[in-house]
């Protein structure tokens, strides 16, 4: 995920597209958040790489190995097709901080030029490096803290919406093939209890997701 050699043609293309990132290369490290259709919190948060050549865009997620390929359509900037032929639209909203791609199934891929987060990477982070807030799908529901990164593991406690947790490590969900979720090992800020919570119950820090 190191920035590659500068290519003048790519820098020109990036400038034409109005990207706010420093156009040092055709491939750059980034941070990506994937939002499921209709959701306002990320179901997956991962380091990624962003590449562009002659208008063709590639986004590679680190956490689960998924890759998105967007091919330009027509002469209107921001209109693409993905690798399966589905329409993809680039939309504004992040300013100089990154780009948003609205996918054909209604999900959204947010690409941030800020790479300070490391969600999705396997190595553990030091305690307290990132602080998230628990969120619940239903008001007052308990959020299980599990012994391992799977719903089949035992619950060792629970949290409630609004609880703050130190995010120690995040790994790809293995409960279902092709899952877009992460499991994060967390430590509760007040009690010190440690365990695993799935990423759809965590609101991540503002420097990595909305």
pLDDT at 68 over 90: yes
Q: Within a domain: residue 189?
A: yes
Burial class, 160, CB count within 10 angstroms (exposed 0-12 / middle 13-18 / buried 19+): exposed
pLDDT at 12 over 70: no
CATH number of the CATH domain containing 153: 2.30.30.40
DSSP string of 28-85, one letter each residue: EEEEEEEE-TT-SS-SEEEEEEEEEETTEEEEEETTT--EEEEEE-TTSTTEEE-TTS
Q: Residue 24 pairs with which residues in a beta bridge? A: none
Angle at 60 between CA 196 and CA 72, to 5 degrees: 140
Instruction: List the one residue out of 167, 86, 73, 80 whose CA is nearest residue 124.
Output: 167
Q: Within a domain: residue 22?
A: yes
Residue given tokens 């609205």 in the structure block: 102
Q: Residue 27 pairs with which residues in a beta bridge? A: 51
Residue 164 token pair: 């703050």
Residue 44: count of CB within 10 angstroms of its CB: 27
Q: Do the Cβ atoms of 46 and 119 come closer than 8 Å?
A: yes
User: pLDDT confidence of 198, banded at 50, 70, 90?
Assistant: very high
| Same domain for 140 and 105 | no
Residue 5 token pair: 């050699």
DSSP string of 156-206, one letter each residue: EEEE-TT-EEEEEEEEE--SSTT---EEEEEEETTT--EEEEEGGGEEPPT
| Same domain for 140 and 59 | no
**Listed range (11-15, 55-59, 193-197) with the worst mean pLDDT:** 11-15
Predicted pLDDT of residue 115: 57
Instruction: For 38-64, write each residue's pLDDT tens digit.
Output: 776 566 767 789 999 888 999 998 877
| Same domain for 144 and 78 | no
User: pLDDT confidence of 129, banded at 50, 70, 90?
Assistant: low
| Same domain for 142 and 93 | no
Q: How many domains does the chain have?
A: 2
Q: Within a domain: residue 1?
A: no
Q: What's the order of all strands across the beta sheet hosting 164-172?
A: 155-159, 143-146, 194-198, 182-188, 164-172, 131-134, 202-203
Q: Within a domain: residue 123?
A: no
Instruction: List the one residue out of 15, 47, 13 whose CA is nearest residue 31.
Output: 47
Q: Do the Cβ atoms of 120 and 63 come closer than 8 Å?
A: yes
Range of the domain at 178: 131-203
| Same domain for 198 and 157 | yes
CATH number of the CATH domain containing 84: 2.40.160
Last residue of one domain, picked from the residues 64, 84, 112: 112
Predicted pLDDT of residue 175: 87
Q: Within a domain: residue 197?
A: yes
Predicted pLDDT of residue 97: 81
Q: Within a domain: residue 122?
A: no
Instruction: List the one residue out of 37, 40, 19 whose CA is nearest residue 210.
Output: 40
């Amino acid at each position: 995920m190191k920035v590659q050699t500068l290519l003048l043609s790519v820098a020109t293309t990036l400038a034409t597209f109005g990207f706010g990132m420093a156009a040092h290369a055709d491939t750059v490290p980034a941070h990506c958040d994937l939002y499921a259709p209709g959701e306002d919190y990320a179901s997956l948060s991962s380091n990624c790489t962003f590449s562009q050549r002659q208008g063709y865009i590639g986004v590679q997620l680190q956490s689960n190995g998924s890759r998105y390929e967007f091919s330009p359509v027509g002469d209107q900037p921001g209109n693409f097709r993905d690798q399966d032929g589905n329409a993809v639209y680039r939309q504004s909203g992040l300013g100089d901080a990154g780009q948003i791609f609205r996918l054909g199934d209604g999900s959204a891929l947010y690409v941030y030029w800020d790479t300070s987060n490391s969600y999705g990477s396997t190595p553990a982070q030091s305690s307290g490096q990132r602080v998230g807030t628990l969120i619940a799908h239903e008001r007052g529901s308990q959020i299980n803290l599990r012994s391992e990164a799977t719903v089949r593991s035992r619950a060792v406690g629970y949290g409630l919406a609004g609880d703050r947790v130190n995010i120690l490590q995040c790994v790809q969900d293995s409960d279902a093939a092709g899952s877009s979720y992460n499991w994060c090992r967390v430590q509760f800020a007040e009690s010190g209890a440690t365990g695993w919570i799935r990423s759809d119950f965590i609101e991540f820090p503002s420097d990595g997701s909305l």
